[in-house]
Amino acid sequence: MIKIKMYPACQGDAFLVSFNNESTNIIIDMGLGKTYTDFIKPDLTALKHRGSSIDLLVVTHVDNDHIEGAIKFVKENAGNSEIIEVKEIWHNSYRHLQFSKNAKALEHDEITTLKQICSQNNLRTEQVGLQNVSIEEGVTLAGLLYGYNYPWNIKLGSNAVIKQNEVVKIADDVAIRLISPDVNKLEKLAQSWKSKLESEKYDFTMNDDELFDDAFEQYMKMPELHSSVQDISKNDQQLNFGELVNLVGKDNSATNGSSIAFIIEHKEHKLLFLGDAHEDNVYEELSRLNANGYELDFELVKVSHHGSNNNISKRLLGLISSKRFLISTNGRHFHPDLGAIAKVVDSGMRAEIITNYPHDKLETFRASIAKQSQNVSFKTTNQIIVE
């Protein structure tokens, strides 16, 4: 049996996936700080009391609504024992970006610039003094992982979490098949970071100083970086069903492009978790798998980017089948998009669309579903059981 908790994470993502009566547990993102405090922490405390641990925590990317709860958890968990043991964390930070770094020491003005970047986005970060963590203005996930020496990307040789041909074994009967990001998406993120630094100083030193991880994380969390990503839900109420189905979008966010996406394999079951990953990356890798005889039949799909039309397509849905589509959002940023829902309805799959908050806009599809004799239903819940 697989038990999936889809926490009420406001506009963010937070999932706990448990296998075989909690003998193996995977957390995927932890939402905002309040998500962790109000919902996740009590579950982790109970897991520890029952003798369980977290086999893997995946922080898919650096957006606030995916990472802030993880920062608060790692801070409280301290040396990996206060709340619950975490056997491994997967997360891509500055150290994993695909560009060469040299041994040259940072100059004084470069250190000053990086510290200023750290402070620019820490108004929402609690001020915490923490020994052995190289950050002065606030606490980042990278700084905490360094400071507490957490096992970080160990199963991947301490390298970047990127798509690869081999599955990664998490437990005897639980494995992960990575499908996103690829090197190109991480290079795009790296270029965004380098452009920021070079706007401050020509030929900015790029080395392995841990201060880079802190500044990188704080900069990439700034909301203005995502202002170019415009979803269309606020304007799609006037479109008919056919127009919604054919509505095409594209996510150009470098941080979303770096999002970790993967298939969890457990016995005969497959679960597809897409984070905020780009549609092109997901489609290309799933197509490759399918061409090699891999069946793309899923128990559930966690829809990318909270049901954004920019991260889903007719071609992707035509490639897979799934019994459930999970959409995690409270409706902020107008998610889920009606275009995304219309595509799932139009795909012809017999499936549930499961949300962790109620959305009145979904009611607009009931007439279309009945008219087309489609077997799609809507459900609001925070817990899914796969048997």
**Each residue's pLDDT tens digit, 178-223:** 999 999 999 988 888 888 899 998 889 988 888 888 888 888 876 5
Mean pLDDT of 11-20: 96
d(C-alpha 14, C-alpha 27), whole Å: 7
The amino acid at residue 110 is: E
Mean pLDDT of 118-135: 47
Mean pLDDT of 146-157: 94
Mean pLDDT of 22-36: 96
Predicted pLDDT at 227:
40
- At 291, is the pLDDT very low, low, confident or very high (cuts 50, 70, 90)? very high
The CB density around residue 345, as the number of other CB atoms within 10 Å, is 24
Helix, strand, or coil here: 273? strand
Q: What six digits make up the tokens of 154? A: 């160990």
d(C-alpha 307, C-alpha 325), whole Å: 10
Share of the chain above pLDDT 90, in %: 64
Helix, strand, or coil here: 4? strand
Predicted pLDDT at 228:
39
In angstroms, what CA-CA distances link 374 with 135, 215, 285, 323? 54, 49, 28, 13
Cis, bond preceding 336 (omega within 30 deg of 0): yes
- At 372, is the pLDDT very low, low, confident or very high (cuts 50, 70, 90)? low
pLDDT mean across residues, the chain: 88
- At 235, is the pLDDT very low, low, confident or very high (cuts 50, 70, 90)? low
Predicted pLDDT at 130:
36
Helix, strand, or coil here: 253? coil
Sign of the C-alpha dihedral computed for residues 115, 117, 118 and 121 taken in this order:
positive
Predicted pLDDT at 237:
60
Instruction: Evaluate if residue 117 carries a pLDDT over 60.
Output: yes
Q: Are 91 and 152 in contact (CB under 8 A)?
A: yes
- At 60, is the pLDDT very low, low, confident or very high (cuts 50, 70, 90)? very high
Mean pLDDT of 230-237: 51
Share of the chain above pLDDT 70, in %: 89
Predicted pLDDT at 123:
47
Predicted pLDDT at 131:
38
Predicted pLDDT at 97:
83
d(C-alpha 190, C-alpha 162), whole Å: 14
Instruction: Evaluate if residue 373 carries a pLDDT over 70.
Output: no
Predicted pLDDT at 230:
47
Predicted pLDDT at 150:
96
- At 103, is the pLDDT very low, low, confident or very high (cuts 50, 70, 90)? confident
Mean pLDDT of 305-326: 97
Domains of the chain with CATH codes: 2-386 (3.60.15.10)
For the ranges 33-47, 118-132, 185-199, the maximum mean pLDDT occurs at: 33-47
The CB density around residue 360, as the number of other CB atoms within 10 Å, is 7
The amino acid at residue 307 is: G
pTM: 0.91
d(C-alpha 336, C-alpha 326), whole Å: 11
